[in-house]
Amino acid sequence: MSSIPTLPGIASQMVQTPRLKIHVLSRGPAGGIPVLLIHGNASSATFWEETLLALPPQYRGIAPDLRGYGDTEDQLIDATRGYFDWVDDLLGLMDALGVERFHLAGHSLGGGVVYSLIAAAAARVRSATLFAPASPYGFGGTKGLEGTPCYPDFAGSGGGIVSPEFARLIGEGYRGSEFPSSPRTVMNTFYWKPPFIPAREEALLSGVLSEKIGPQKYPGDSVPSANWPGAAPGRFGPANAISPKYVGDTVERFLAADPRPPILWVRGAEDQIVSDHSLFDMGTLGAAGAVPGWPGAEVFPPQPMVGQTRAVLERYGSFREHVIPETGHSPQIERPDLVDPLFHAHLEAAG
């Protein structure tokens, strides 16, 4: 089933849901306690294989390729719904699998899906784990711990800030490392802290290359803006879906969840993608002189992604934060010896 070779013990299947056909990797007994694992941007379910294999035997790990990624049916993402195309897909998947309640974990963009899924269906979630999650306010274009928009049109977020060269090389299936924007270079520079290289580098690179590319896919569309850096979010694709323009009232809906599933937040101390000075954030790049015309820190400072997450989770109340030293954006891949015990204990404590 999977276009990417899987590790022994990992099952691959296509599941027809009411919305689309979803590719799923899984491991564990059919009657086991379900754990739904949601991958990030420019990756796929392949990134969860070691995590699936490490789950204690009483759990059934379920790792789908999100809409727009991997071997899941190629359908457009309506970015104006924020994360909710993915949320509805995943709830439909769990219904199709006959799963009512489940543990939930998300990495990076997948963390944003976690917030929205709790906002939509908290009663179905036993526990949630956030691995290096996106800010609850979305990616780019906000300032302050309350997620205040830098501009009314949310310029500086969405498809217009994605490297077109990175997207082009993904679309070409480029596996080299000659260019700074090559998928392999980006993965090994930013997904984890160099000089770490995962044992399954080639399979993980294939996961990166599985993202669907196009003007309505990734990087998505954008609209011209009079505000710096000159582009505001469009209406399609994952980069626009995670813009604060469309994340909207998700934070308040998340904070209104009843019940509130307990949350474990695990992040790398040296994450360069999700941080208070992300190297993928226009405020950070503008302050460094990498993007001309920066309007200054009062107008468009670096987005305090970690600070925003902590402020929201402190209002949520039921959470624990763990920072993994000498680790980048993928602590579950870089340091499973430290992360898996935390994850498994959290699952066990939630019952």
pLDDT at position 312 is 98
pLDDT at position 348 is 98
Q: What is the pLDDT of residues 132-166, one digit of tens each?
A: 999 999 999 999 999 999 999 999 999 999 999 99
Q: Rounded distance, CA 52 to CA 63, Å?
A: 8
pLDDT grade for 351, boundaries at 50, 70 and 90: confident
The answer to whether 40 and 332 have CB atoms below 8 angstroms apart is no
- Residue percentage of the chain with pLDDT more than 90: 99
Write out the H or E segment, with its range, that includes residue 92: helix 84-96
Mean pLDDT of 13-22: 98
Answering whether pTM is above 0.75, one says yes
Backbone angles phi, psi at 295, to 5 degrees: -80, 0
User: What count of Cα atoms within 13 Å lies in the side-chain half-sphere of residue 145?
Assistant: 8
Q: What is the pLDDT of residues 87-122, one digit of tens each?
A: 999 999 999 999 999 999 999 999 999 999 999 999
Q: Rounded distance, CA 267 to CA 251, Å?
A: 20
8-state DSSP, 48? G
pLDDT at position 313 is 98
| Residue partners of 124: CB distance under 8 A and separation at least 6 | 91, 94, 100, 101, 102
The candidate with the shortest Cα–Cα distance to 66, out of 117, 135, 118, is 117
Q: Rounded distance, CA 15 to CA 159, Å?
A: 29
What is the rounded average pLDDT for all residues in the chain? Answer: 98
Q: What is the pLDDT of residues 215-250, one digit of tens each?
A: 999 999 999 999 999 999 999 999 999 999 999 899
pLDDT at position 1 is 76
Show contacts of 292-295: CB within 8 Å, 24+ apart: 293/228, 293/229, 294/228, 295/228
Q: Rounded distance, CA 68 to CA 41, Å?
A: 9
The candidate with the shortest Cα–Cα distance to 167, out of 155, 157, 179, is 179
The answer to whether 234 and 79 have CB atoms below 8 angstroms apart is yes
Q: Is the pLDDT of residue 174 over 80?
A: yes
Domains of the chain: 11-350 (3.40.50.1820)
pLDDT at position 181 is 97
Mean pLDDT of 66-82: 98
The candidate with the shortest Cα–Cα distance to 87, out of 58, 120, 60, is 120
